[in-house]
Amino acid sequence: MAKILHFFCLWLILLISLPVVADSFTDRRASVGIKLFRSMLVSNTTYLNKVTHSGELHVKLIFIHSDRKARVLAASLGPDLKALKGKPVVLEVVSLNAYLKSSETILGAFIVQKMDGVNLKAVIDKSILDQTLLFSPFEGDVEKGVFGGISVESKVRPFINIDTLKKSKITLKAFYLRVSKKHETQHENQT
């Protein structure tokens, strides 16, 4: 009986701690991702197409349920992204619905929370149509069509969906593309 109780207690502790471990893993991917997102925005050579009439570049952090994580990430990104190549950057936390309904010119958007397939496809489609650099730190999203993300292997590096790059007509600096892992669905060519 003592062994069963001991086993049950261990099982319960493991069960309770799994969401915490998953949350901290997700938070780490988001923290690393926000840094790569900034460097991806800087490497965008078509950024001038995204300057608004008021001379600003708009960047969005998209959340679904709670804006808490988005605000934390915005606070970490904000000081490093006040301006991009001399143009002031307006950083805004927005809901998924607000992003999808928006008609403003947006340079880049960062997905803060994991999305289901329907919402992710809607964000991808809008971003391609609007030629917005869409970034997700979540595993599997680049393969589903998100423009950029992170590859965690022996080292962390940017991950680019080449098909989305072509469809969205965004160009990145050659060096950035060289150091990035690439995903291309047409040929399944990964480097």
Q: What would the pLDDT profile of 83-136 be if each residue is shown by its tens digit?
A: 888 999 999 999 999 999 999 999 999 999 999 999 999 999 999 999 999 999
Q: How many domains does the chain have?
A: 1
Instruction: Read off the CATH number of the domain in which 34 is found.
Output: 3.40.50.2300
- Is there a domain that residue 13 lies in? no
- Is there a domain that residue 3 lies in? no
Contact criterion met (CB below 8 Å) for 132 and 126: yes
- Is there a domain that residue 4 lies in? no
Supply the pLDDT for residue 1: 58
Region of poorest pLDDT, from 79-83, 149-153, 155-159 = 79-83
Query: What is the mean pLDDT of the segment spanning 49-57?
Result: 94
- Is there a domain that residue 130 lies in? yes
Structural domain of 144: 23-183
Instruction: Record the pTM.
Output: 0.83
- Is there a domain that residue 139 lies in? yes
- Is there a domain that residue 15 lies in? no
- Is there a domain that residue 165 lies in? yes
Better-scored residue on pLDDT, 106 or 14: 106
- Is there a domain that residue 190 lies in? no
The tens digit of pLDDT for each residue in 33-50 reads: 888 899 999 999 999 999
From residue 164, alpha-carbon distances to 2, 37, 87, 116, 186 in Å are: 57, 16, 25, 19, 11
